[in-house]
Amino acid sequence: MQGQLLDLKWILLLFVLFGESSLYAQEPFVCQNNFYFSFGTSGGASRLHEVIVEPNGNVNFVPLPNSTGVALNAVGYRSTDNLIYGVGTATQRLYQVDATGRSFPLTILDVNLNNGYYAATITPNGDEMIIVEQTNTFNGGSVALVVVDLTDPNYPTKRRTPFTGPNVQTTDIAFDPISGILYGFDARESRLITIDPISGAVTTNFPTSNVADRMGGLYFDAFGKMFGYGNAVNDNSARTFFGIDKNTGLVTNLGTGPNTSNKDGCACPFTIDLLKDVSPRQVVPCTELTYNFQISNLSGETIMGVDLTDTMPEDFVILRLDKNPYGGTFTGTGTNILRIEDMTVPLGQDSIKVVIETLPFAQGVYKNQAYLDDLPEGLGGRSPSDDPLTVLSDDSTSIEVFPLVVNLSNQQQNLCEGASIELIAGTINGIDYQWNTGSTSSTLMVSDPGQYSVTITNGCEVEVDSVLISEEPISVDLGDAITINLGDYINLNPITNAIGEIQYDWSEKGEFINCLDCNTLDARPFFDTNYEIKITSPSGCMATSSVPVTVTKDRGIYIPNVFSPNFDGINDQFYIMGKGFAQILVFQVFDRWGNLVFSKDSGEINDATIGWDGTFDGRNAENGVFSYYAKVIYLDEIEDSFYGDVSLVR
């Protein structure tokens, strides 16, 4: 009884010191290329979520059953024990988190408690946890890497390596599982960076992103593709799912998900994964196509006894196995069920190629998925294939089979003079073409009118179609050269043989055109010019014509030297006369002593109503000789001045 009480005391002591999670056995994760995200919830405690990509590209966070019970950040996945490690933000204590979401306290890290630790990853071999140390100031920078020895049960801090190079702020880091390069994302310059985990040297050879601002979580999949979750540019909410090109630094917005805070992410790419691609993706019946099964083994060891199974659509038949570097027993030729049993999958990436044929009655969209079976329990036992062309993970690979059809009659049949048209018989792979011209291409360039036909076949069906191509010689004419006086109007009326709804396009050098697409054009050019019209027929044929216009600028201005303002209706006004449409800028009359007796500063020539009527200050001026000064401006903005005498005779 006394021994039982002693055991109970120890249990209560552990409960007080380390919390409820210490009373449970740890349940390891299954390493299957899954991405996990830790972020704060109500009460400050963090909860781990599995990130699921939906068919529309957006992401959904599925919470693990339990909360960690602590504010947890700087998380990393350790492949050797399939547990997630994280750092408590309040105490800098190291925790383990199992597949149920419970946290298990380990040790308080020997770190600078005045700084923050929000980004971390674990080396591919599982020996070390790499934690980013960041100053706890506004927009604090990342200053060092703290390395924790995970092989020692006391989890000591092995070293602290200060950053060298540009001043950066990275809120997560991740190792490329293929190259071993350590990547981060700099929130200061919104760009991808690399960090040397030994020297701390930061390299910033990537451009600033115009898509992403900050990354709360970075991770890689088993094929070395990089992803992130964080803030898009000009978005204060961390809710965007990104794809990242690790070679160029280009960031692509893939979708959105929940808003997160106090967040960090990790994944386990150290597994066996399967991609299933097919080429071509669009075919007709009786066409050969190739499925490419790409396998990546980053589990750390050669896996033996692996089976590949793929149940193809019933309208497909397997022809042959073109490539298989993994050995095993292949079956399925002549059927729609592919099996390769007892394969040996070494570390690295390689692929299996299988050639199939679509049957004569195949039509529509087909989707199917392959599986790798008999994997180790720690890798989940089974791995479904993923279509590499979609954002959705572990989804079926699709292909579309179209019926054998050719239709030339729905294409352009009018051939414009001097031009060519392209006849398209098909755009889908797996078809043989034979034109009556001898061409075997899927398209035919036609520059002469006539009957054209094509025969297409996919090996089990034949289709024939033909089309009559006729020439459409259209023309347009603006007439002979035109000569006008300055200020005159012209009307251009193009003559054309085109029929139907014609498109007009006028152009002219140096002059304003008041209607670019009118069927006729009214113009008043002030300079020699050339008008051009381009017409387009309903079938797309075009013709052009132009007409030169010469503007005669006879600037003849006539100012009389005598007038008789006696109200007999003859020569009663002294005014400026001439050709054209000149405007009066100044018109002044002076007596013999130089006094101004008349002045006008606007008006048009040839207008007697604005001339001098022979009066001054309301009285008739005496007979005599008067002098004048005039200044006019023509339509083309040329100015001219005139001086002279005029005799007033009543």
Summarised one tens digit per residue, pLDDT across range 335-359 is 999 999 999 999 999 999 999 999 9
User: Do residues 340 and 425 both lie within one domain?
Assistant: no
Check whether residue 371 and residue 428 sit in a common domain: no
CB 637 within 8 A of CB 596: no
pLDDT at residue 349 in the model: 95
CA–CA gap between residue 261 and residue 577 (Å, rounded): 87
Instruction: Name every residue whose Cβ is closer than 8 Å to that of residue 110 and which is 6 or more positions away in sequence.
Output: 156, 157
| 14 assigned to some structural domain | no
The whole-number pLDDT of residue 554 equals 80
Q: How many CB atoms lie within 10 A of CB 96?
A: 20
Say how far residue 362 (Cα) sits from the centre of its chain.
35
The pLDDT value given to residue 485: 87
Per-residue model confidence (pLDDT) at position 511:
67
Q: In 3D, which of 108, 68, 53 has the Cα closest to residue 267?
A: 53
Beta bridge partners of 340: 308, 330
Same domain, 37 and 116: yes
The percentage of the chain sitting over the pLDDT mark of 90, rounded to a whole number, equals 74
For residue 619, tell me if it sits in a domain: yes
Residues 6 or more apart in contact with residue 537 via CB below 8 angstroms: 414, 472, 474, 498, 499, 500, 502
Do 157 and 227 share a domain, yes or no?
A: yes
Q: What is the CATH number of the domain that holds 486?
A: 2.60.40.10
Give CA–CA dist 498/417, Å, rounded.
13
Same domain, residue pair 428 and 295:
no
| Residue 636 covered by a domain | yes
Residue 529's φ and ψ, nearest 5 degrees, are -155, -175
Q: Is residue 573 part of a domain?
A: yes
Whole-number pLDDT of residue 204: 93
- E strands, 58-179, in order: 59-63, 72-78, 83-88, 93-97, 103-108, 115-122, 128-135, 142-149, 157-162, 170-175
Domain total of the chain:
5
Return the higher-pLDDT residue of 513 and 399.
399
- Mean residue pLDDT of the chain comes to 90
Domain stop point among 401, 435, 460: 401
Residue 139: per-residue pLDDT: 67
- pLDDT bin (cut points 50, 70, 90) of residue 199 is very high
Residues 385 and 509 in one domain: no
pLDDT of residue 332: 96
Strand partners, 120: 131
Q: Which of 422, 438, 472 is the last residue of a domain?
A: 472
Instruction: Give the pLDDT mean for 527-540.
Output: 90
Which of 341, 366, 401 terminates a domain? The answer is 401
Judge if 260 and 179 occupy the same domain.
yes
- pLDDT of the residue at 56: 75
- pLDDT tens digit string along 315-325? 999 999 999 99
- CATH number where 422 lies: 2.60.40
Backbone angles phi, psi at 377, to 5 degrees: -60, -35
Are both 160 and 246 inside the same structural domain?
yes
Other CB atoms within a 10 A radius of the CB of residue 300 amount to: 14
pTM over 0.75: no
More confident residue, 553 or 181: 181
- pLDDT at residue 462 greater than cutoff 90: yes
Residue 40 has pLDDT above 80, yes or no: no
Q: What are phi and psi of 22, to 5 degrees?
A: -70, -15
Range of the domain at 356: 272-401
Are 62 and 49 in contact, with CB atoms under 8 Å apart? yes
Instruction: Identify whether 83 is part of a domain.
Output: yes
In a domain, 119, yes or no: yes
Structure confidence by residue, pLDDT tens digits, 248-275 = 999 999 989 888 877 889 999 999 999 9
CATH number, domain containing residue 290 = 2.60.40.740
Residues 247 and 330 placed together within one structural domain of the fold: no
pLDDT at 600 over 70: yes
Instruction: Answer yes or no: is 621 within a domain.
Output: yes
Residue 5 lies in a domain: no
- The mean per-residue pLDDT over the stretch 53-81 comes to 90
The pLDDT-based confidence of 122 (bands split at 50, 70, 90) is: very high
What is the reported pLDDT for 11?
Answer: 39
The tens digit of pLDDT for each residue in 276-302 reads 999 999 999 999 999 999 999 999 899
Residue for token digits 């083994």?
297
Q: How many residues does the chain have?
A: 650
At residue 4, the pLDDT reads 41
Please check whether residue 172 is in contact with residue 216, taking contact to mean a CB–CB distance below 8 angstroms.
yes
394 and 436: one domain? no
23 pLDDT more than 60:
no
Res. 526 pLDDT band, cuts 50 70 90: confident
Q: Are 380 and 277 found together in one domain?
A: yes
My answer on whether 300 and 368 are in the same domain is yes
Q: How many C-beta atoms lie closer than 10 Å to residue 231's C-beta?
A: 22
Instruction: Report the C-alpha gap between 162 and 196 in whole angstroms.
Output: 11
